Amino acid sequence: QVQLVESGGGLVQAGGSLRLSCAASGRTFRSLAMGWFRQAPGKEREFVAAISWTGGSTDLADSVKGRFTISRDNAKSTVFLQMNSLKPEDTAVYYCAAVSGPFERRRREDYDNWGQGTQVTVSS
């Protein structure tokens, strides 16, 4: 099992930035592909970003391309989500997820370890 703890959420005005962090423990971090998902009230949890176990390959949802960046620090067992030019529609609980294996994945069902989530609220 992998324990994941997100941090960095908060309230920000539209156009602002936030950086989310997810600290992992319990398994060798470099053996895990990592992802970020989000869930807004009344909506399903959706894919935001994913990164391969080396960090050499990333994938971003179309809705965040050009604004969000995913990265990782394997020495610190942490994955980051840099969010710029935030919009009110980015408001959601953001979840970190992990899966064993090298490749980044988009499907929620592919991930078997989840954090508790961190709230991001973007005001207009």
Task: Report strand pairing: 118-123 vs 10-13.
Answer: parallel
User: Residue 23 to residues 2, 76, 113, 115: CA-CA distances in angstroms?
Assistant: 10, 8, 12, 9
DSSP-assigned letter for residue 99: E
Residue 121: alpha-carbon gap to chain centroid: 15
Model pLDDT, residue 26: 86
| Banded pLDDT at 122 (limits 50, 70, 90) | very high
Model pLDDT, residue 64: 98
- For residue 12, with 0-12 CB atoms within 10 Å meaning exposed, 13-18 middle and 19 or more buried, which class applies? middle
- Read off the pLDDT of residues 15-46 as tens digits, 9 standing for 90 and up: 999 999 999 998 799 999 999 999 999 999 99
- Read off the pLDDT of residues 56-106 as tens digits, 9 standing for 90 and up: 999 999 999 999 999 999 999 999 999 999 999 999 999 999 999 999 999
Model pLDDT, residue 1: 86
72: phi then psi, degrees, rounded to nearest 5: -145, 155
